[in-house]
């Protein structure tokens, strides 16, 4: 049972890497659509398909191997300029790629590795027939002379392969038997000599260790690179040595000297496998570089070139999550130690805890860095979406991607894919016009959709921008009034009108399509983004296009925070939002103790909110207050607090359902003394404050001298009451 579980884990590596290679194939095909003569990209697509085929063969997944073989052959003919790469070819390869992905999913879920289901068999048969139609085409250049049978046979070559499996091969869940099945699929194993010299006595035998070795004589036309593919999934502890049968005596001597059995025994084994020492001196040209070469698990796919050993290791994401959680608990525990040191006024202990805190901060940054991934992989998946959707809508659309190397937390990347997908499809359907409409409007017939990402103040900003028709303000207002979302008497700014598209059930589409028009999705997009402690804004330019701006935190686990005191309680503001702190004198606003105030910040109008009035309405106004100036998305606001406690590392803990509707709180943290501090949701707070500013700023500012209060918004008015 343990062996079966390990084998499943080993096959899991194949499934993961197969999906990565399939994503690469899709990307390469889309690039070839733009430049069919890019031989480098074409070769990369061929190598990716070849690797999938070889790896599937190693694990005995013959249903994948057989299907990919035809695709690989077609791509090889394209490489040899025997077949042209056109739109039909592109569509076929993409459909084959999708089918291979379905096969991978099916086998991973427990499906047969030898046969497909009847439902999938129909689709596979159709794709195979279309692939073979290309193989039967006679559009290749005619040869000057008939092909000689001896010339064809001359492509076959005999190789000698020495294999010594690592001790951990079986423990790692790898079964060596499929290697030979795979080699038989593209060549002939003329000799298989087992090597059992490493087998210990029964008393010393480890039942989980592998002591096997093999000497193989192999006839194939695939060359050394094709042979190496068969051993790709072996660990680096295993050693595979490959030599052509017509090698030089020096190469043969190098192989014998490298084998662990010693020269005498190695010579005997090679003779038994039909590979005696050459008596004739050869002057090889192609195989000179291969003498005595040791091939480990990871090898170069470029013919005959070995790459350095990879410096990457694959770690399950749940292990990283556990590490981040432990680092968070370490931060909390250290904060408690610091509190005790301060309470005891122990100088030496304070110095020690300060040093430990610095190390913990480095560990925290390093651990969080392990979970940071580039958003480029998420962006690239939209190449296919844009292509297929544009074809279905009869539109010409060009996708431009920038900032793909921008990094953010893996958990955020996994959850932002669906909201982005909806925004992209919405832009393709609603935002961008048909070629005829664009030309009539004086634009290029090809629309442009842009995906961009960049860092800004501890956040990642993702923009989905199109150069289409923009949002129809009057149409949105009319539909919102019809649905009762707003009243006809309400006066809304352009920004507020744009945000109406995120209302549940809202849609201005004239007809329902497969892509959009049912009013389901945009509200979910906004809700999912806010669940990640992010926000979404819309900027529209009538007739010129529309931009959706998503702001997300870089990580959801541990942040640097700024602690403040309000009404006897402690709250945390994420430090990335904080710009400066100011002292607010008690008589600065006279006797005014309202929740929302406005402050003259060096001639700049700054809307502020008193947290004491939000969370502790009955608390007395202190003699001295402080303003923490925060900014988000280019908008500044002030948070008025009673005390400033300084910076601290903050471990974010989720809140229960009881706090879901609280618009000012995004989470909680545990302080060193064991108390809980709430984390202020600055983006939502700024949105609330900025709405007041938009409607009452000028009135409030002009009447401030005579202490005439402005009309607050509904939510703040209730708080003031």
Domains of the chain, residue spans: 2-135, 153-295, 318-371, 373-553, 558-720
- β-strand pairing of 459-466 with 535-541: unpaired
Q: What is the pLDDT of residue 652?
A: 82
CB 324 within 8 A of CB 652: no
| Higher local confidence (pLDDT), 393 or 55 | 393
pLDDT digits (tens, 9 = 90+) for 122-135: 888 889 888 888 87
Query: Would the pLDDT of 284 be above 80?
Result: no
| Residue 71 structure tokens | 């695709």
Question: If pLDDT is split at 50, 70 and 90, which confidence band does 714 have?
Answer: very low
Average pLDDT, stretch 14-36?
89
Hey, how many other C-beta atoms are within 10 angstroms of the C-beta on 437? 15
Residue 627 has pLDDT above 80, yes or no: yes
In this model, does residue 697 exceed pLDDT 70?
no
Q: Could you tell me which of 657, 662, 676 has the C-alpha nearest to residue 571?
A: 676
Q: Is the predicted pLDDT of residue 92 greater than 60, yes or no?
A: yes
Confidence of residue 145 (pLDDT cuts 50, 70, 90): very low
Q: pLDDT: is 174 or 125 the higher one?
A: 125
How distant, in Å, are the alpha carbons of 24, 210, 573, 582 from that of 628?
A: 48, 65, 9, 6
CATH number of 373-553: 3.30.565.10
Mean pLDDT of 616-635: 82
pLDDT at 437: 93
What CATH number has the domain spanning 558-720? 2.30.30.40
Dihedral sign of CA atoms 686, 692, 695, 697 in order: negative
Q: Are domains 373-553 and 558-720 of this chain identical in fold? A: no
Separation of alpha carbons 611 and 679, rounded Å: 12
**Rounded Cα distance, 131 and 112, in Å:** 23
Q: Of 50-54, 395-399, 568-572, which range is least confident?
A: 50-54
Q: How far is residue 280's CA from residue 302's CA, in Å, rounded to a whole number?
A: 30
pLDDT per position as a tens digit, 552-611: 887 767 778 899 998 888 999 988 889 999 887 666 655 566 777 778 888 888 888 888
Q: Express each pLDDT in 406-460 by its tens digit.
A: 988 888 888 888 899 999 999 998 899 999 999 999 999 999 999 999 988 778 8
Strand order in the sheet with 213-220: 187-195, 213-220, 157-164, 239-244, 294-295
CA distance linking residue 75 with residue 85, whole number of Å = 9
CB atoms < 10 A from the CB of 669, how many?
Answer: 26
Q: Contact at 8 Å (CB) between 218 and 229? A: no
Q: What is the pLDDT of residue 399?
A: 92
Q: Coil, helix or strand for 221? A: coil
Q: pLDDT tens digit string along 457-488?
A: 778 899 999 999 999 888 889 888 888 888 88
Mean pLDDT, residues 210-222: 90
Task: Find the mean pLDDT for residues 317-342.
Answer: 85
How far is 386 from 397, CA to CA, in rounded Å?
7
Distances (CA, A) of 226 to 56, 183, 391: 14, 9, 38
Q: What percent of the chain has pLDDT over 90?
A: 21
In this structure, what token pair is assigned to residue 657?
């359902």
Residue 182's φ and ψ, nearest 5 degrees, are -65, -40
Q: What is the pLDDT of residues 186-210, one digit of tens each?
A: 788 888 999 999 999 888 888 888 9
pLDDT of residue 22: 92
pLDDT at 339 exceeding the cut of 90:
no
Task: Please give the CATH number for the structural domain made up of 153-295.
Answer: 3.30.70.1150
Q: Which of 32-41, 196-205, 255-264, 306-315 has the lowest mean pLDDT?
A: 306-315
The 3-state DSSP class for residue 559 equals strand
Structure tokens that stand for 714 in this block:
């509904």
Contact by Cβ (8 Å): 465, 547: yes
Instruction: Determine how β-strand 635-641 pairs with β-strand 624-632.
Output: antiparallel
Residue 718: is its pLDDT beyond 90? no
Q: Indicate if the pLDDT at residue 521 is higher than 80.
A: no
Segment of 334-338, 426-430, 506-510 carrying the highest mean pLDDT:
426-430
Mean pLDDT (the chain, rounded)? 80
Q: Which range, 108-117, 481-490, 538-547, has the best average confidence (pLDDT)?
A: 538-547
Residue 231 has pLDDT above 60, yes or no: yes
Which numeric CATH code is attached to 2-135? 1.20.120.160
Q: pLDDT category, 720, cuts 50, 70, 90?
A: very low
Query: Which CA distances in Å does 487 have to 472, 477, 479, 483, 714?
Result: 18, 9, 11, 10, 16
Measure the CA–CA gap between 354 and 342, rounded to whole angstroms.
11
* Angle of CA points 597, 601, 605, to nearest 5°: 60
Residue 97's pLDDT band, with cuts at 50, 70 and 90, is very high
**Average pLDDT, integer, range 625-636:** 85
> What per-residue confidence (pLDDT) applies to 297?
35
Which tokens belong to 643? 């005390």
């Amino acid at each position: 049972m343990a062996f079966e579980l390990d084998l499943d884990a080993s096959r899991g590596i194949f499934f993961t890497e197969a999906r990565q290679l399939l994503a690469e194939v899709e990307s390469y095909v889309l690039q070839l659509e733009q430049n069919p003569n890019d031989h480098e990209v074409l070769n990369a697509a061929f190598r990716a398909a070849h690797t999938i085929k070889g790896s599937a063969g190693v694990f005995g997944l013959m249903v994948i191997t057989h299907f990919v073989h035809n695709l690989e052959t077609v791509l090889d003919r394209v490489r040899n300029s025997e077949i042209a790469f056109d739109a039909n070819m592109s569509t076929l390869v993409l459909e084959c790629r999708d089918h291979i992905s379905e096969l991978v999913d099916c086998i991973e879920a427990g499906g047969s590795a030898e046969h497909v289901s009847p439902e999938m068999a129909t689709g596979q048969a159709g794709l195979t027939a279309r692939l073979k139609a290309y193989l039967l085409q006679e559009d290749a250049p005619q040869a000057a002379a008939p092909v000689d049978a001896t010339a064809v046979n001359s492509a076959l070559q005999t190789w000698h392969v020495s294999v010594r499996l690592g001790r951990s091969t079986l423990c790692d869940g790898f079964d060596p038997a499929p290697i030979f099945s795979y080699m038989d699929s593209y060549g002939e194993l003329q000799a298989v000599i087992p090597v059992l010299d490493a087998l210990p006595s029964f008393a010393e035998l480890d039942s989980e260790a592998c002591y096997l070795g093999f000497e193989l004589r192999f006839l194939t036309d695939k060359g050394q690179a094709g042979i190496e593919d068969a051993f790709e999934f072996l660990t680096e502890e295993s050693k595979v040595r490959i030599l052509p049968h017509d090698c030089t005596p020096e190469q043969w001597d190098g192989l014998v000297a490298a084998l662990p059995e010693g020269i005498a025994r190695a010579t005997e084994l090679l003779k038994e496998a039909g590979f005696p020492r050459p008596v004739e001196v050869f002057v090889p040209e192609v195989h000179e570089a291969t003498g005595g070469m040791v091939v480990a698990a990871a090898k170069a796919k470029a013919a005959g070139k070995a790459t350095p050993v990879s410096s990457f290791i694959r770690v399950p994401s749940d292990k990283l999550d556990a590490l981040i959680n432990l680092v968070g608990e370490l931060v909390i525990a250290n904060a408690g130690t610091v509190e005790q040191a301060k309470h005891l006024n122990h100088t030496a202990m304070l110095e020690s805890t300060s040093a430990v805190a610095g190390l913990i901060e480095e560990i925290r940054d390093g651990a969080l860095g392990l979970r940071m991934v580039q958003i480029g992989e998420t962006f690239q998946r939209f190449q296919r979406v844009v292509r297929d959707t544009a074809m279905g809508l009869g539109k010409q659309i060009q996708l431009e991607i920038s900032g793909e190397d921008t990094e953010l937390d893996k958990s955020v990347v996994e959850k932002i894919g669906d909201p982005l997908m909806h925004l992209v499809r919405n832009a393709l359907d609603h935002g961008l016009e048909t070629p005829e409409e664009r030309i009539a409007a004086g634009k290029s017939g090809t629309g442009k959709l842009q995906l961009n990402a960049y860092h800004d103040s501890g956040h990642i900003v993702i923009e989905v921008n199109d150069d289409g028709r923009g949002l129809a303000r009057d149409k949105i207002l009319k539909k919102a009034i019809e649905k009762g979302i707003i009243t006809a008497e309400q006066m809304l700014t352009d920004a507020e009108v744009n945000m109406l598209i995120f209302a549940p059930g809202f849609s201005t589409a004239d007809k329902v399509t497969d892509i959009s028009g049912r009013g389901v999705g945009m509200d979910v997009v906004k809700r999912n983004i806010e669940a990640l402690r992010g926000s979404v804004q819309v900027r529209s330019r009538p007739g010129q296009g529309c931009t959706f701006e998503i702001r997300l935190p870089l990580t959801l686990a541990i942040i640097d925070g700024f602690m403040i005191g309000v009404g006897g309680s402690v709250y945390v503001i994420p430090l990335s939002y904080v710009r400066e702190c100011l002292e607010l004198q008690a008589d600065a606003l006279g006797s005014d103790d309202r929740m929302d105030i406005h402050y003259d910040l060096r001639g700049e109008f700054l809307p502020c909110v008193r947290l004491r009035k939000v969370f502790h309405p009955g608390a007395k106004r202190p003699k001295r207050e402080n303003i923490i100036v925060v900014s988000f998305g280019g908008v500044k606001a002030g948070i008025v607090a009673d005390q400033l406690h300084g910076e601290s590392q903050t471990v974010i803990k989720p809140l229960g359902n009881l706090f879901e509707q609280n618009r000012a709180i995004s989470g909680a943290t545990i302080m060193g003394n064991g108390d809980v501090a709430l984390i202020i949701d600055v983006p939502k707070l700024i949105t609330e404050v900025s709405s007041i500013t938009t409607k009452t700023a000028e009135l409030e500012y002009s009447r401030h001298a005579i202490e005439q209060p402005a009309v607050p918004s509904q939510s703040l008015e209730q708080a003031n009451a």
